[in-house]
Amino acid sequence: MAQNLHTGAAAPDRERVVEAILDLLRSVLGADGSAVTEDAKLFDELGLDSTGVLDLMLQLEDALGIEFDTDNLQLEHFGSVRTLADYVMAETGE
Amino acid sequence: MPKLPPDFNSRLKTMVAGTPDASLVFLANFEVEEEWGRGEQRLPRFTADSGGALVTAMDEFAVLLAGPDDHVVLKTAPDGDYLGYLGDLGIALPALHVAAPYRRTATVTEAVLADPALLDRLAALGRAGCRLAPHGVSASEERLSERTGLPLIAPPAAVCRAVNSKIYSRRLADEAGIRQPPGWVCETVTELERALPDAAALLDKGHRLVIKEAYGVSGKGLAVLDSRQRLDRLHRMIAQRASRAGDERIAFVLERWVDKRADLNYQCTVGVDGVVHFDFVKRALTEKGVHKGHRMPADLSAAQHAVLAFAADAIGKKLAADGYFGVAGVDALVEPDGGIYPVIEINARNNMSTYQIRLQERFVGPGRWAMARHYPLRLDRPVGFAAVAGAVGDLLLGRPGGAGLLVNNFATVNAGAGGDGPFDGRLYGLLVADSVEELDDIDATIEARLAAMKGDGS
């Protein structure tokens, strides 16, 4: 389970998570956010590579104020914006 | 010292096997680092499935490193039209031995070890005096040597593993007085924690840091850190994982990130007698931190060359003193002001560049330019060499002295096939031209022609 660093803060809502992911894809990968859908494939369509995953993960933690349990992270969580958002929601939910 | 043969194949044999007439069995087990790094803590990293199939198909590079008196073991038989093309170029090919059955993501060594009939054939080669020349030696290649009786022309796996650690590279550079970025070796969590205050001070001065796995493949297993927050996060992650494993032993290097104008890759060969030969230097082409290829010549000044030659000699001598012999590649970089950092990491094994040497000797003469790279392909179904050659058209290199693309690995094109839907492939080749401009023109045209190809036979 991810650790919420903001004591007492509510878990991020899904809309905010998706927006944070899209913002990061724009800055990390130079992706055109307006053209990216929730089903866009991060590796195949947006050019994420194995090194970029760690960078994306760390930036997502910064943006959302959470810390992932890296032992739980799997490749399939980085399949698309949707799978990544689902993972973040599951990790931060009660 | 006796004069060494000018061509790489004969020189290598002279230096590591004692005679230019040795018959070698080449085995290109790329990413042997995966075996060397087994059991070490890694940074989170994720590789798509086709990665394993594609990387293990890089075994086909060995076909163009071996000479006509040598042997190559492969996971899969090369495309017949591709072999015909190489023959038409006048390249004398080695004897090829293919493992069966085809195992998509197995390493070439695993594939050979699982084929009793091939092991028998290799044992016969061992009895005939052949020797085993892997890309790099891990416990698996030692097992293959034991199973077949083919003696390795390489040091034991334990030596190879030790000298391929980035921790070894840093210590060697310190001992030899070779300039390197400020940094720390971290073999325990405590050592990492001791380095944190000084590392944080570098961040405060506006520098970036990079943390690398000691056994990471070039461009993978590293993270660039640009804030104390990131540094602290990585520290927590590593300490937490070590604590869970109940083992405070880790293997990372932490160093200042150095701004660069260019990456370089140079190679030396270390003889069993400790003699060191500087083989070449190339300018690396990278895209998004991932290695894409090399351009040669490296376009360096005489002074820059001298810095690399000095470092190569010092590295080779130290490797020899530590029991290593064979090929060693070194990654270096040129700073924006032209200064050289001669050692970023040492790869005491064959490198991608190693497999281009024979082609360079034959097809890239003095005054000419070459670029080794790969073209990413997105295919709907497997394609044959004839279809790819048709797409490249008149820019496929047809003769020595000509300009165009010389394909040096075709197995990687279709290796990713076998799952559902489209797959990723790579076409590796050496572009040859008379100028950098011509090289870039040919490159751009081929890229456009290949992008139009989908694997439907068109």
Instruction: Tell me how many degrees the CA angle B115-B355-B301 measures, rounded to the nearest 5.
Output: 160
- Containing A88, the helix (H) or strand (E) segment is helix A81-92
- Residue in A49, A67, A70 nearest the CB of B44: A70
Determine the pLDDT at residue B458. Answer: 43
Provide the number of CB pairs (under 8 Å) joining chain A to chain B: 49
| Domain annotation covers residue A27 | yes
The highest-confidence range among A31-35, B158-162, B221-225, B450-454, by mean pLDDT, is B158-162
pLDDT given for residue A94 in this prediction: 45
What is the per-residue pLDDT for A22? 85
Contact B44 A57 (CB under 8 A): yes
Q: Which residue of chain B is at minimal alpha-carbon distance from A70?
A: B44
Is B420 touching A (CB cutoff 8 A)?
A: no
Min Cα separation B68/chain A (Å): 38
Q: Do A55 and B223 touch (CB under 8 A)?
A: yes
Is A55 within the bounds of a domain? yes
What count of other Cβ atoms lies within 10 Å of the Cβ of residue B238? 20
Hey, how many other C-beta atoms are within 10 angstroms of the C-beta on B313?
15
Q: Compare all CA atoms of chain B with the CA of A59 and give the residue at the minimum distance.
A: B230
A7 interfaces chain B, CB cutoff of 8 Å: no
Flag if A51 and B47 touch (Cβ within 8 Å): no
Q: Name the pTM for this structure.
A: 0.88
Q: Is residue A78 part of a domain?
A: yes
Annotation: CATH topology of B259-348: D-amino Acid Aminotransferase; Chain A, domain 1 (3.30.470)
Cβ–Cβ below 8 Å for A53 and B48: no
Which of A28, A29, A48, A50 best tests the B interface by mutation, with the highest count of B CBs <10 A? A50
Give, as one character, the DSSP assignment of residue A78: G
3-state secondary structure (DSSP) of residue A64: helix
Selecting from B222, B237, B290 the residue whose C-beta is nearest the C-beta of A70 gives B237
- pLDDT tens profile B387-432: 999 999 999 999 999 999 999 999 999 999 987 788 889 999 999 9
Reported for A10-16, long-range contacts at CB under 8 A and 24+ positions apart, including other chains, are A11/A89, A11/A92, A11/A93, A11/A94, A12/A64, A12/A66, A12/A88, A12/A92, A14/A85, A14/A89, A16/A64
pLDDT, residue B287, reads 62
pLDDT at residue B36 greater than cutoff 60:
yes
What's the total number of domains in chain A?
1
Structure token digits, residue B387: 């279809």
Structural contact between residues B203 and B226, judged by C-beta atoms closer than 8 angstroms: yes
Q: Strand pairing of B131-134 and B24-27? A: parallel
* CB atoms A54 and B43 under 8 Å: yes
pLDDT at B205 over 80: yes
B47–A61 CB contact, under 8 Å: no
Nearest chain A Cα distance for residue B237, angstroms: 8
Domain assignment of residue A7, yes or no: no
Neighbours of B94 (CB within 10 A): 20
Sequence-distant (≥ 6) Cβ neighbours of residue B218 within 8 angstroms: B291, B331, B345, B347
Q: Which CATH architecture has domain B182-256?
A: 2-Layer Sandwich (3.30)
Show residues of chain B in contact with A75, CB under 8 Å: 46-48
> Which chain A residues are closer than 8 Å to B33 by Cβ?
none
Assess whether pLDDT exceeds 70 at residue B163.
yes
Q: Do B230 and A58 lie within an 8 Å CB cutoff?
A: yes
- What lies within 8 Å, CB to CB, of A4 at 6+ separation is A11, A65, A66, A92
Give the pLDDT mean for B114-136.
Answer: 98
Asked if the C-beta of B210 comes within 8 angstroms of chain A's C-beta atoms, the answer is no
Confidence of residue B66 (pLDDT cuts 50, 70, 90): very high
- Residue-wise pLDDT for B340-364, tens only, equals 999 999 999 999 999 999 999 999 9
- B286-332 tens-digit pLDDT: 666 556 678 999 999 999 999 999 999 999 999 999 999 999 999 99
Q: Respond yes or no on whether the N-terminal peptide bond of residue A12 is cis (omega within 30° of 0).
A: no
- Domain containing A58 equals 12-92
**3-state SS, one letter per residue, for chain B:** CCCCCCCHHHHHHHHHHCCCCCCEEEECCCCCHHHHCCCCCCCCCCCCCHHHHHHHHHHHHHHHCCCCCCEEEECCCCCHHHHHHHHHCCCCCCEEEECCCCCCCCCHHHHHHCCHHHHHHHHHHHHCCCEEEECCCCHHHHHHHHHHCCCECCCCHHHHHHHCCHHHHHHHHHHHCCCCCCEEEEEEHHHHHHHHHHHHHHHHCCCCEEEEECCCCCCCCEEEECCHHHHHHHHHHHHHHHHHHCCCEEEEEEEECCCCCEEEEEEEEECCCCCEEEEEEEEEEEECCEEEEEEECCCCCHHHHHHHHHHHHHHHHHHHHCCCCEEEEEEEEECCCCCEEEEEEEECCCCHHHHHHHHHHHHCCCCCEEEEEEEEEEECCCCCHHHHHHHHHHHECCCCCCCEEEEEECHHHHCCCCCCCCEEEEEEEEEEECCHHHHHHHHHHHHHHHHCCCCCCC
The DSSP code sequence of A1-59 is -PEESSTTPPPPPHHHHHHHHHHHHHHHH---GGG--TT-BTTTTT---HHHHHHHHHH
Is the pLDDT at B57 greater than 50, yes or no?
A: yes
Nearest by CB: B233 against A58, A71, A73: A58
Give the pLDDT mean for B210-239: 88
What mean pLDDT value characterizes chain B? 93
pLDDT bin (cut points 50, 70, 90) of residue B164 is very high
Over 90: is that where the pLDDT of B338 sits? yes
Considering chain B, what percentage of its residues have pLDDT values greater than 70?
A: 95
Eight-class DSSP state of A66: E
Task: Please give the pLDDT value at position A8.
Answer: 43
**Does A74 sit within 8 Å of B44, measured CB to CB?**
no
Contact residues, chain A, for B47 at CB < 8 Å: 50, 75
Please report the ipTM that was assigned to this predicted complex: 0.71
Q: Is A34 on the interface with B (CB under 8 A)?
A: no
Decide if A70 touches B, using CB distance below 8 A.
yes
Inside any domain, residue A2: no
- Flag whether residue A28 sits within 8 Å of chain B, measured between CB atoms: no
Most confident of A42-46, B101-105, B248-252, B419-423: B248-252
Domain spans, chain B: 8-162, 182-256, 259-348
Question: Any idea what the CATH number is for the domain that residue A73 is in?
Answer: 1.10.1200.10
Option in A51, A61, A73 nearest B233 (CB): A61
Q: Of B220, B233, B424, which is closest to A50 when you measure between CB atoms?
A: B220
Say if the Cβ atoms of B290 and A58 lie within 8 Å.
no
Q: What is the pLDDT along chain A (94 residues), one digit of tens a residue?
A: 455 554 445 557 888 888 888 888 877 777 665 667 788 778 777 777 766 777 788 888 888 888 888 777 777 788 888 998 988 888 877 4
Is residue A90 less than 8 Å (CB to CB) from chain B? no
